[in-house]
Amino acid sequence: MEVTMNKQLKVLVIDDSPQSREFTIEYLLKPNNFLVEVAEDGLAGLSKALKSTADLILLDYEMPKLNGLQVLRRLRACGVNTPVILMTSHGSEQLAVEVFLLGVQNYLTKPFTIEGALRAIEDALRVTRLEKEKQELLNRVLQANQELKHQLNVRDVMYQIGKSITLIHPTQTLERIVDAALFLTNAEEGRLFLINPRTGQLHAPIERKKASPEGAEKGVRQISVALEIGEQKVGTLSVKIATQGLRDSDWAEYEQMLHLLAGYANIALQNLGYINQIQAQKEQEKQLIRSVFERYVDANVVEELLRRPNQIKLGGRSQPVTVLFADLRGFSTFANRTSPEKTVDTINMYVEAAVEAIFKEHGTLDKFIGDAVMAFFNAPLPQTDHVLRAIRAALGVKQAVVDIQRQLLPEYQLNFGIGVCVGEAVVGNIGTSKLMNYTVMGDSVNKAKRLQEHATGGQILISQETLNVVQPYVQVRLIGRPHLKGQAAEEPVYEVLGLKEEAGDELFTSTHPSFALAAMTS
């Protein structure tokens, strides 16, 4: 009978009888291709059993130094669970019970037959085989769990990297990619190199190193993959990995991971390029806004425009605006009797005061026409209270003139005649490619100028449409119904005397119902 086991299983024979050992080894074990270890007494057998990798122990009961039962007890006490077959010439029921309680797989009474012994060995080794299969299965399950955990870690890291592309700045994404490369490949260090477009040289803006590097002792191998946008190489992603204990399949897996991470890095770099383009465009927009409006509006308005560039419409559009014209009265006579230098100094003093009053109400300076100033409100930024702002600006100009006159001799005291009108106008950049002017055009502009022409020095004249919007807040008097040049019919004209004190803080709110006209069409 041949044992149907792996023929290279090892058996430890512990027996003090030379004849019994010879029979067991030569007629039982070797013919069935077992590997054999031998011990000639109980103590030697215990020592070998504790060190041996035997798959089965054939243990004699009656031996010097330690008998089989003593050896068995000590093996179990030491945690050795190798299958044991006990061989004895003097068996008893009590002995059989005791050794079976200690885990003996079988019990042979000498003399035994070869067939009987082989059956006992096969039964014992079947248990060994099952235990080994169980352990191998457990090891495979544990290994599969480790591989599954590793794959889940890889997927989680890749998912987080993919999500970060749309949630955080590309530079932070690139940093996470290098961190991920270090983590997933267990590398000693990782770097992301970018090509300097000016020099063509590589530089590494992002570097990571393991907290406790081992590569210096073990030796390292570098893996690098290219970073590309389209067909253009823009850099590399590189890791250095300790070589000890790694298989070819590990290197292939690490390189595959780097290619996946490089794909995300390519997207992040492309997004970074888009962001830089957008930032450059925004900076160009800011420069354009500054170049267009710094001459026309107060610095605070420029900053507001920079914060809200989408509100600006540089192309022509029709919208409600309030136009203010202010012209110095008696200037021609003054200029004829004054030196050119003094004339320019004086006009600049008055005009500067007028512009300051206009800017205080966030008006837009349109142009200087000789000794006249033109401004408008509700553009480039919408102002729901633009009519009242224009009235306050006109009153501010009037008060500024009073303040100036206190400091001048009578012959230098001039005054503005002011006209204010609200209505539809075309607003936009007008001119040529070499010279543009942000201005307004329309009937309301013409009417404001005609009102200014009717105003005497120190007078602020407004139209009926203008009064309809601000009547609750201003003191006025009707000066008549003159026929304004360019207008189809006569209409009432009013002089603004001041603001109504009883209006209080309501005068300065843009949500008051009286500003509905401006709000509806702004």
- Report the amino acid identity of residue 233: K
CA separation for the pair 254, 248 (Å, rounded): 10
Higher pLDDT, 493 or 22: 493
Q: Please list the residues that pair with 188 across neighbouring strands.
A: none
> DSSP characters for 79-143?
T----EEEEESS--HHHHHHHHHTT-SEEEESS--HHHHHHHHHHHHHHHHHHHHHHHHHHHHHH
The confidence score (pLDDT) of residue 397 equals 97
The confidence score (pLDDT) of residue 93 equals 64
First vs last C-alpha separation in the chain: 107
Contact assessment for residue 436 and residue 316, using Cβ atoms and an 8 Å cutoff: no
Mean pLDDT over 151-168 rounds to: 67
Closest alpha carbon to 1 in 97, 159, 165, 119: 119
Residue 510 has pLDDT above 50, yes or no: no
Residue 384 has pLDDT above 90, yes or no: yes
Contact assessment for residue 287 and residue 389, using Cβ atoms and an 8 Å cutoff: no
CA separation for the pair 13, 70 (Å, rounded): 16
SS3 213: coil
The confidence score (pLDDT) of residue 521 equals 40
pLDDT-derived band of residue 505, with 50, 70 and 90 as boundaries? very low
The confidence score (pLDDT) of residue 446 equals 94
Contact assessment for residue 37 and residue 20, using Cβ atoms and an 8 Å cutoff: no
Which are the contacts of 342, defined by CB distance < 8 A and separation ≥ 6?
Answer: none
Residue 511 has pLDDT above 50, yes or no: no
CA separation for the pair 382, 311 (Å, rounded): 8
The confidence score (pLDDT) of residue 470 equals 96
Residue 344 has pLDDT above 60, yes or no: yes
What is the Cα gyration radius of the chain? Answer: 51
Residue 486 has pLDDT above 80, yes or no: no
Q: Provide CATH code, domain 10-135.
A: 3.40.50.2300
CA separation for the pair 61, 99 (Å, rounded): 10
Higher pLDDT, 198 or 292: 198
Which residue, chain included where needed, has tokens 């142009």? 367
CATH of 168-274, one of 3.30.450.40, 3.40.50.620, 3.90.1300.10, 3.30.390.50: 3.30.450.40
Q: What is the pLDDT of residues 226-236, one digit of tens each?
A: 898 888 888 88
pLDDT-derived band of residue 186, with 50, 70 and 90 as boundaries? confident
The confidence score (pLDDT) of residue 399 equals 96
The confidence score (pLDDT) of residue 519 equals 42
Query: Which sequence spans correspond to the domains of the chain?
Result: 10-135, 168-274, 299-521
- Report the amino acid identity of residue 31: P
Q: Is the pTM of this model over 0.75?
A: no
H helices of 294-368, where? Answer: 299-307, 331-336, 340-360
Which residue, chain included where needed, has tokens 């970060």? 164
SS3 489: coil
Contact assessment for residue 438 and residue 293, using Cβ atoms and an 8 Å cutoff: yes
pLDDT-derived band of residue 97, with 50, 70 and 90 as boundaries? low
Mean pLDDT over 286-298 rounds to: 65
Neighbouring C-beta atoms of residue 215, cutoff 10 Å: 18
The confidence score (pLDDT) of residue 133 equals 73
In the β-sheet with 106-109, what is the strand arrangement from edge to edge? Answer: 35-39, 10-14, 56-60, 84-88, 106-109
Neighbouring C-beta atoms of residue 115, cutoff 10 Å: 9
Residue 214 has pLDDT above 90, yes or no: no
The confidence score (pLDDT) of residue 314 equals 57
pLDDT-derived band of residue 31, with 50, 70 and 90 as boundaries? confident
Q: Provide CATH code, domain 299-521.
A: 3.30.70.1230
Q: Give the range among 10-14, 218-222, 518-522 with minimum mean pLDDT.
A: 518-522
Mean pLDDT over 92-96 rounds to: 66
Contact assessment for residue 311 and residue 299, using Cβ atoms and an 8 Å cutoff: no
Q: What is the pLDDT of residues 100-156, one digit of tens each?
A: 767 676 767 677 777 777 777 777 777 667 777 777 777 777 776 776 676 667 677
Number of H helices, E strands in the chain: 15, 17
Residue 167 has pLDDT above 70, yes or no: no
pLDDT-derived band of residue 293, with 50, 70 and 90 as boundaries? low
Which are the contacts of 450, defined by CB distance < 8 A and separation ≥ 6?
Answer: 419, 484, 485, 486, 487
